Amino acid sequence: MKVETHSTLSLSTSHLKQETLNMLDEYGFVLKHYGDNFGGLLIIQEEEHRVPMPKDLIKCIEIADKVNCDLILFHPDVPPVKGLKVYNWG
């Protein structure tokens, strides 16, 4: 059987500014609410098809590119990645 598969990078929603997370539907992001928090799945476009994006999102996409992932799952329960900026929303 031949099937298509995708690799997913899981990142904490804390690696995005709240404003970025709030506007991600413009970037192909599927939002999901988790209690008082929310996150979701970002389908990473090929580099030549990417639109200008906030720097915090670009940093996350650069990590996904380095590890050959074509999806990013942002979730509030994923521990932050050491060395990647964390934003406090409160």
Rounded distance between C-alpha atoms, residue 11 and residue 22, angstroms? 16
> What pLDDT is stored for residue 75 in this prediction?
87
> What pLDDT is stored for residue 20 in this prediction?
86
Rounded distance between C-alpha atoms, residue 74 and residue 17, angstroms? 12
CB neighbours (10 Å) of residue 63?
Answer: 16
> What pLDDT is stored for residue 29 in this prediction?
60
Q: What is the mean pLDDT of residues 65-84?
A: 92
CB neighbours (10 Å) of residue 46?
Answer: 7
**pLDDT of 20-72, one tens digit each?**
877 776 665 655 555 556 677 888 877 665 667 889 999 999 999 999 999 99
> What pLDDT is stored for residue 25 in this prediction?
63
> What pLDDT is stored for residue 32 in this prediction?
58
> What pLDDT is stored for residue 49 in this prediction?
59
